[in-house]
Amino acid sequence: MGLHENLLRGIYAFGLEKPSVTQQRGIVPLCKGLDVIQQAQSGIGKTATFCSGVLQQVDHGVVECQALVLAPSRELAQRIETVMQALGDYLGVRVHACGQTNLRKDQHFLSRGFHVVWIKCIQEILRRFLISTCCSPPKIHVGVFSATIPLEAHEITRKFMNKPVRIHELRLEGIKQFYTIVDKEEQKLDIFCNFFENLAVAQCVIFVNTKHNLDWLTDELCSRENAVTINFVAKDDVTMLFNIQKFYDVVEALPANADEVESFLW
């Protein structure tokens, strides 16, 4: 695919010896400077795809912000930062994820100069602010990668993308999808464990809707000699998100004339 030698070293060191078909379809047009919209299921390498494309395009000798990555959650922004740092380890690329709890720390890091910057932003902020300001340069290079792209997002992309290459891969070949209806809530665990024992899978992700269910499920799985890793939104995260929302509310009050108000409400 014509990737930079040191980028390939980072890719191999990260454990990606051979790109999947999905990654090839996304990386090739990105490296050619084309806008890309790739919709594919989670877990098949979209992050490594656009990280490789960004690192290939960045001028590593110029220490200034050349790429801006928008993520819908803080956890995803941090994950992207980790992948980008790993893939660009031999390129000398400097990256930073903003949107942490300490704005002064973000300002300090950004003042030192970075090639790639991540911002944790909700869809509303992207829709209201960044499209009209960040995407106005005529030579901007844009990529959209997601498992779900609603119709509204497709309409937005038409305003700031130039004849994008559209890649839609919503199904994973060879992956069976099914569901089971249970009569009682307590039956779920036994049915799940039965599936897990009979399916050839080493790991899985389980979603729960309350902290109580999380604690109960963790205890039950551990009692059955299963290794469990927990990821749950804690009170500190809720407080941080609330403070960020208050900041957004202040920003939304800035428009002073009718034209600006119309663009904010669009």
Task: Name every residue whose Cβ is closer than 8 Å to that of residue 74 and which is 6 or more positions away in sequence.
Answer: 99, 100, 120, 237, 240
| Domain ranges (residues) in the chain | 5-169, 235-265
Residue type, 62: V
How far, in Å, CA of 59 to CA of 12, rounded?
Answer: 21
How much of the chain exceeds pLDDT 70, in percent? 66
**pLDDT greater than 50 at residue 156:** yes
Query: When comparing pLDDT for 92 and 177, which is higher?
Result: 92
Let me know the angle formed at the C-alpha of 231 by 45 and 213, rounded to the nearest 5 degrees: 125
Class of domain 5-169: alpha beta
H or E segment and range at residue 81:
helix 74-87
pLDDT of residue 129: 47
How far, in Å, CA of 98 to CA of 118, rounded?
Answer: 6
Query: The tokens 């992700």 sit on which residue?
Result: 205
How far, in Å, CA of 204 to CA of 206, rounded?
Answer: 7
How far, in Å, CA of 226 to CA of 231, rounded?
Answer: 16
**pLDDT greater than 60 at residue 262:** no
pLDDT of residue 102: 62
Q: What is the pTM of this model?
A: 0.57
Kindly report which listed range (27-31, 115-119, 148-152, 214-218) carries the lowest average pLDDT score: 115-119
Half-sphere exposure of 126 (CA within 13 A, CB side): 18
pLDDT in tens, 91-124: 888 887 776 556 666 666 666 655 555 554 444 4
Query: The tokens 């380890």 sit on which residue?
Result: 89
